[in-house]
Amino acid sequence: MNGMTVWEPVSDIANLSQRMDRLFDQLMGRQLRRGVSEGSVRGAWMPAVDILEKNDAIEITADLPGFQGDDVDVSVEGGVLTIRGERKFEDASEGETYHRVERTYGLFERTFTLPNTVDPSKVEARFKDGVMHVRLPKREELKPRSIKVKVEKA
């Protein structure tokens, strides 16, 4: 076309985005072999949790897909509940290449300060279908209770 350059905005923007990603990874020192950046793979992460208070207990539910119950540690010490574990990254084998890694890997630890209404000796944890359920029963003497009013006849 007589030396004219045709501007192709979509492909130019895509190429620029890829170059910027590579430059950022190099500047941050996060380049790993086989094209996977460390920031998207390894490091601390936190599973999502829900905390629900009921009359007799507080319940914590944590999403831990891909985990087994034995992969997670739950402990109570000094009025603090700790849930911890690790999701391990499996390196690509010879002849394999990751093109995208979006799941987070590495150690996680969630800690929760227990209110004085919880009985730490009765904490229970169960694991089913990638979800950790921790039940924190309230102390008997601190549970709300209703008092029946006696009506006296005149």
- Where do the domains of the chain lie? 7-40, 42-140
CA distances for 67 relative to 50, 55, 77, 140, angstroms: 18, 30, 24, 34
pTM given for the model: 0.63
Fold classification of 42-140 (topology level): Immunoglobulin-like (2.60.40)
pLDDT per position as a tens digit, 74-113: 999 999 999 999 988 888 888 888 888 888 888 899 999 9
Mean pLDDT of the chain: 81
* Cα diameter, the chain: 112
pLDDT score at 41: 46
**pLDDT band for position 11 (50/70/90)?**
low
**Taking the alpha carbons of 78, 80, 85, 86 in that order, is the dihedral positive or negative?**
negative
